[in-house]
Amino acid sequence: MFEGIVNARDLGGIKIGNKTVKSGLLLRAAHLHDATDRDVRRLVEEFHLKRIFDFRSVPEASLQPDRDIPGAQSISLPTLDLSRERQTEEAIPEETWIDLSKHIVRLSFMKMFQKKGLELYPSLVVSEFSQLQYASFMNLVLDTEEGAVLWHCSQGKDRTGMGAAFILGALGADRATIIKDFDRSNDAYRPLVEKLCADVRAAGGGEDEEEVVRAFMGVSVKNFNHALDLIDINWGSLQGYLEEAMEIGPEECLRLQERYLE
Summarize pLDDT for 89-147 with one digit per residue, the tens: 455 665 566 678 888 999 999 888 888 888 889 989 999 999 999 999 999 999 999 99
Q: Enumerate the β-bridge partners of residue 75.
A: 53
**Cα 147 from Cα 141, distance rounded (Å):** 11
Nearest CA-CA partner of 77 in 102, 115, 51, 116: 51
**This prediction's pTM:** 0.92
User: What is the per-residue pLDDT for 98?
Assistant: 63
**Looking at the domain assignment, is residue 1 inside a domain?**
no
Alpha carbon of 213 to those of 114, 132, 169, 209: distances in Å?
9, 29, 28, 7
Q: Are 85 and 184 in contact (CB under 8 A)?
A: no
In a domain, 228, yes or no: yes
Residue 112 is part of which domain span? 9-260
Per residue in 192-237, pLDDT (tens digit) is 999 999 999 999 999 989 989 988 999 999 889 999 999 999 999 9
Residue 190 lies inside a defined structural domain of this protein: yes
**Res 205: pLDDT:** 94
- Does residue 154 fall inside a structural domain? yes
Instruction: Give the model's pLDDT for residue 85.
Output: 57
Give the Cα separation of 89 and 107 in Å (integer).
Answer: 16
Query: Is residue 183 assigned to a domain?
Result: yes
Residues above pLDDT 70, as percent of the chain: 94
The answer to whether residue 92 sits within a structural domain is: yes
**pLDDT > 90? residue 28:** yes
pLDDT at 36: 98
**At 165, is the pLDDT very low, low, confident or very high (cuts 50, 70, 90)?**
very high
SS3 assignment for the chain: CCCCCCCCEECCCCEECCEEECCCCEEEECCCCCCCHHHHHHHHHCCCEEEEEECCCHHHHHHCCCCCCCCCEEEECCCCCHHHHHHCCCCCCHHHHHCHHHCHHHHCCCHHHHHHHHHHHHHHHHCHHHHHHHHHHHHHHHCCCCCEEEEECCCCCCHHHHHHHHHHHHCCCCHHHHHHHHHCHHHHHHHHHHHHHHHHHHCCCCHHHHHHHHHHHCCCHHHHHHHHHHHHHHHCCHHHHHHHHHCCCHHHHHHHHHHHEC
Q: Is 2 part of a structural domain of the chain?
A: no
What is the Cα–Cα distance from 9 to 27, expressed in whole angstroms?
A: 6
Confidence at residue 119, expressed as pLDDT on a 0 to 100 scale: 86
What domain count does the chain have? 1
Angle between helices 128-142 and 111-126 (to 10 degrees): 50
* Assigned domain for 3 exists: no
CATH code of 199's domain? 3.90.190.10
Whole-number pLDDT of residue 84: 60
- Per-residue pLDDT tens digits for 189-204: 999 999 999 999 999 9
